[in-house]
Amino acid sequence: MRAETAEGTGPGQPRELTPGQEAVLRELMAWGGERPTFDALLAVRLRDVMEGQLAPVADRLGRHELVVAKQGLSGVLQCERQWLAGEQGRFSWTLRTAGGTVAHRAIALGLFTRNDPAPVELVDGALERIIEEGHDWSPAGFLAGMGPAELAELRGEATAQVQGFMTCFPPLGRSWRPAVEARIRVDLCGDRVVLKGKVDLALGQPAGTQARVLIIDLKAARPFRTHIDDLRYYALLETIRTGVPPFRVASFYLDSGRWQQEDVTEAALLTAARRVVDGVRRMVELRIDGRPPTLGPGPGCAFCAERAECPGPERWQAELSSAGGGLGGAQEGVGDEAAPVAVLVQERRQSGAD
Ligand code: SF4
């Protein structure tokens, strides 16, 4: 892997940046930094690995098509029973999940709107668009049925997220090739296994075999260890789609302005490819072969629609107790937290090492 210096113009508008925006530009975007090049056949090798290992599984699918997205993949690897319940239509929107979708849409609108609308205007525009479109996979129905108080709460939540993005990110210039909510699709095994993803924000474009794309997943939640798996999944899809990996992937937490990032390597992509194989294999066993699901007790039990009838929460509590408080943080929902890179960066800066 060879490293070269990135080139390009600076931030899109001549606006003075806040220290937070400067940190994003310098540390997350690595402005003016080195960009790696990758083997031109890497995408082919990754596809071969997945298709080779999935061939027997795809045969069992027959004429069915299995569509895989990041939530399903994480879900089936975390708790098969919960994944299966979601597959059987027991998913329901909440104020928080719908608010996140509205905020993402509002941010997308904001990036491509010529005037300078306030965050709340963007949120209202996004709400209107989502309800108007009325897609059954979107929160359109949920939003349309909300009362005034609930809707006001959702608008407040979404507006705070949009405001968080605007104050943390430098204005994005057109030369950065920003793409929001960009859909990626990879067909495997004669189109019987379809991997799908929707990238919140991608900046840049590859040049030859030089990686120059930064993929950012915007999060309203706190850091969780599975977020890095989601990022690697996006990196894998992007690599197979364009033939060149992104140079970096990151989860950006809108309420704190922090992020965790990973520079993409062949090893990380291979790990992501094996994870896809593992997840797809489980999905086919559960859906096609009818294998009974296993349980994956964990912090997620607290929010699971199955919890009233499932022994998982009790087992998770027993695990916490037998750990003697060693997993105590998980009880408060922080046990799954990964070490956010931005915190490390902040600490270095405070100590004068940066
Ligand atoms: S309650 Fe926990 S173990 Fe049971 S299905 Fe939900 S996440 Fe899985």
How many Å lie between the centroid of ligand 1 and the Cα of residue 313? Answer: 7
Question: What tens digit of pLDDT does each residue of 264-294 get?
Answer: 999 999 999 999 999 999 999 999 999 999 9
- In which band, very low, low, confident or very high, does the pLDDT at 4 lie, cut at 50, 70 and 90? very low
Statement to judge: residues 208 and 226 lie in one domain = yes
Confidence label for 88 from pLDDT (cuts 50, 70 and 90): low
Question: What local confidence, expressed as pLDDT, does residue 89 receive?
Answer: 62
Q: Are 140 and 112 members of one domain?
A: yes
> Per the domain annotation, does 328 fall within a domain?
yes
How many CB atoms neighbour CB 278 within 10 A? 14
Instruction: Tell whether 245 and 129 lie within a shared domain.
Output: no
pTM greater than 0.75 = yes
Classify residue 4: in a domain, yes or no: no
- Domain limit, last residue, from 113, 142, 168: 168
Same domain? For 186 and 70 the reply is: yes
**For residue 243, what are the CA distances in angstroms to 117, 142, 148, 240?**
37, 39, 48, 5
Worst-scoring range by mean pLDDT, 137-141, 258-262, 326-330?
326-330
**How many Å apart are CA 314 and CA 321, to the nearest integer?**
11
Encode pLDDT of 285-321 as tens digits: 999 999 999 999 998 898 888 999 999 999 999 988 8
The answer to whether the CB of 296 is under 6 A from ligand 1 is yes
Mean pLDDT within 234-260: 94
Using a 6 Å cutoff on CB, does residue 246 contact ligand 1?
no
How confident is the model over 28-55, as pLDDT tens digits?
999 888 899 999 999 999 999 999 999 9
Mutate to test the pocket of ligand 1, among 80, 81, 309 (most ligand atoms within 8 A of CB): 81
Tens digit of each residue's pLDDT (9 = 90 or more) over 122-153: 999 999 999 999 888 889 999 999 999 999 99
User: How many structural domains are present in the chain?
Assistant: 3
* Ligand 1 centre distance from Cα of residue 159 (Å): 32
CATH code where residue 226 lies: 3.90.320
> Would 163 be classed as within a structural domain?
yes
Is position 252 within any domain?
Answer: yes
- 312 Cα to the center of ligand 1, angstroms: 5
C-alpha of residue 316 to centroid of ligand 1, in Å? 9
Alpha helices in the chain (DSSP H): 19-23, 42-61, 70-78, 80-85, 95-112, 119-133, 140-144, 148-168, 227-242, 266-287, 312-322, 328-331, 341-350
Verify whether ligand 1 is closer than 6 Å to residue 295 (CB atom): yes
C-beta 300 within 6 A of ligand 1: yes
3-state secondary structure of 11: coil
273 and 303 part of one domain: no
Q: Are residues 74 and 184 in the same domain?
A: yes
Residue 12 lies in a domain: no
CB contact at 8 A, 283 and 68: yes
- The pair of structure tokens assigned to 224 is 């969780």
**Residue 337 reports pLDDT greater than 70:** no
> Looking at residue 75, what is its pLDDT?
93
Q: Which domain holds residue 325?
A: 299-347
Indicate if ligand 1 lies below 6 Å from the C-beta of 21: no
Query: Across the strands, what pairs with 35?
Result: 4
**What does the pLDDT read at residue 15?**
65
In a domain, 147, yes or no: yes
Task: Mark whether 74 and 128 lie in a shared domain.
Answer: no
One domain, residues 115 and 58: no
Q: How far is the CA of 132 from the centre of ligand 1 (A)?
A: 35
pLDDT at 325 over 80: no
Does residue 304 share a domain with residue 268? no
- 306 in contact with ligand 1, CB cutoff 6 A: yes
Q: Which atom of ligand 1 is nearest to the CA of 301?
A: 2
The arithmetic mean of pLDDT across residues 332-346, rounded, is 36
Q: What is the mean pLDDT of the chain?
A: 85
Ligand 1 atom nearest 295 alpha carbon: 3
Contact 26, 56 (CB under 8 A): no
Which single residue is written with the structure tokens 């009838």?
309
Q: Are residues 45 and 83 in the same domain?
A: yes
Residue 251: phi, psi to the nearest 5? -100, 130
The domain boundary residue, chosen from 168, 190, 210:
168
- Is 19 inside any structural domain? no
User: Which pLDDT does position 118 carry in this prediction?
Assistant: 92
Would 58 be classed as within a structural domain? yes
Give the model's pLDDT for residue 7.
Answer: 42
Categorize the per-residue pLDDT at 14 as very low, low, confident or very high, splitting at 50, 70 and 90: low
Task: Render pLDDT for 249-258 as a digit per residue (tens, 0 to 9).
Answer: 999 998 888 8
81 lines ligand 1 (CB under 6 A): yes
- CB 202 less than 6 A from any atom of ligand 1: no
What is the tens place of the pLDDT at every residue in 178-211? 898 889 999 999 999 999 999 999 999 999 999 9
Determine the atom of ligand 1 nearest the C-alpha atom of 312.
3
Hey, whose CA ends up nearest to atom 7 of ligand 1? 301
Question: 49 and 151: one domain?
Answer: no
Domain co-membership, 190 together with 159: no
Listed residues 239, 265, 287: the one ending a domain: 287
pLDDT value at 108 more than 50: yes
pLDDT score, position 323: 76
pLDDT band at 59 (very low <50, low <70, confident <90, very high): very high
